[in-house]
Amino acid sequence: MNAVLYKTRILMENVKFEHSIFALPFAYLGMVLAARGLPTLHQFVWITVAMISARTLAMSVNRLADWPEDARNPRTMRRPLPQGLLGGWEVAGFAVASLAILTFAAWQLNTLALQLLPLAVVILVGYNFTKRFTWLCHFILGLADGGAPFGGWIAVTGTLSWEPVLLCLALGFWVGGFDLIYACQDVDFDRANGLYSVPARFGIAVSLTQARIWHALTILLLAAVGILSALSWPYWLGLAVASALLAYEHSLVSPNDLSRLNMAFFNVNGYIAVIVFAAAAFSIYLA
């Protein structure tokens, strides 16, 4: 039993399971906007299962795809796969199990969710390989995560609309923006190993400026969602707080000092996701 618990813990650590907090609130945002309130318990449960399994699938494939580079990069060489704490077959099995759970969750939701699943899987798996041929990999990662509110909306309505499109783009620019910041710490490694990224191609200063632009677009798109969905003052208050947190996030890093990058990446972004969702949910509750 102890061995099973240990292996499970390492598998969870390998995919940074706790970072599901970044995208999951946006899936819930799409869900409550679609329902204009609370969805059914059935929908809530299977949306949660689908989102967590989708992210676990994507991160498992990411670790397998990056395994050779992770073993050579001083920043990542202590991850479970390079250390030998996990075998490739174990991570691959975890990915297959996640795909099976994701498929079952989509089937539990509705026909459109199941029909769009193959496209979602291609994006979730495919983005892991984009840094081998394009510096647009950051935005592609953002769009992969941007499927979260899209999925939440479809799970409730079984239809498409403009709100989830705008949410998808907002989340895409948000995630892509902080991935630009995160990639700055690997600029030398990426250049030496022929990997594509905006920092490796254009430098850290340009990357941080680009991240600011993308995060400004995030706020504008979230504002458009608020207008289109006729959300009230709690949403706008939450959006103002999120804007302030994004500004604070950018104040923590500079081209000459990335020492507080992890605080910007992990702590601040988690707060932003929860605040935006809570503000929208409260706005809908008051309507």
Q: What is the mean pLDDT of residues 220-238?
A: 96
pLDDT at 183: 93
pLDDT at 141: 92
Q: What is the mean pLDDT of residues 28-44?
A: 94
Global confidence as pTM: 0.92
Q: What is the mean pLDDT of residues 49-78?
A: 94
**Owning domain of residue 218:** 2-286
Q: Average pLDDT of the chain?
A: 91
Query: Could you tell me the CATH number of the domain that includes residue 139?
Result: 1.10.357.140
Look at residue 1 and tell me whether its pLDDT is greater than 70. no
pLDDT, tens digit, 9 for 90 and up, residues 95-146? 999 999 999 999 999 999 999 999 999 999 999 999 999 999 998 998 898 8
pLDDT at 11: 84
Q: Can you give the chain as a three-state secondary structure string?
A: CHHHHHHHHHHHHHCCHHHHHCCHHHHHHHHHHHHCCCCCHHHHHHHHHHHHHHHHHHHHHHHHHHHHHHHHCCCCCCCHHHHCCCCHHHHHHHHHHHHHHHHHHHHHHCHHHHHHHHHHHHHHHHHHHHHHCCCCHHHHHHHHHHHHHHHHHHHHHCCCCHHHHHHHHHHHHHHHHHHHHHHHHHHHHHHHCCCCCHHHHHCHHHHHHHHHHHHHHHHHHHHHHHHHCCCCHHHHHHHHHHHHHHHHHHHCCECCECCCHHHHHHHHHHHHHHHHHHHHHHHHHHC
Q: Total structural domains in the chain? A: 1
Q: What is the mean pLDDT of residues 170-196?
A: 93
pLDDT, tens digit, 9 for 90 and up, residues 232-278? 999 999 999 999 999 998 998 899 888 887 766 667 888 898 999 99
Q: What is the mean pLDDT of residues 49-62?
A: 94
Query: Above pLDDT 90, what percent of the chain?
Result: 76
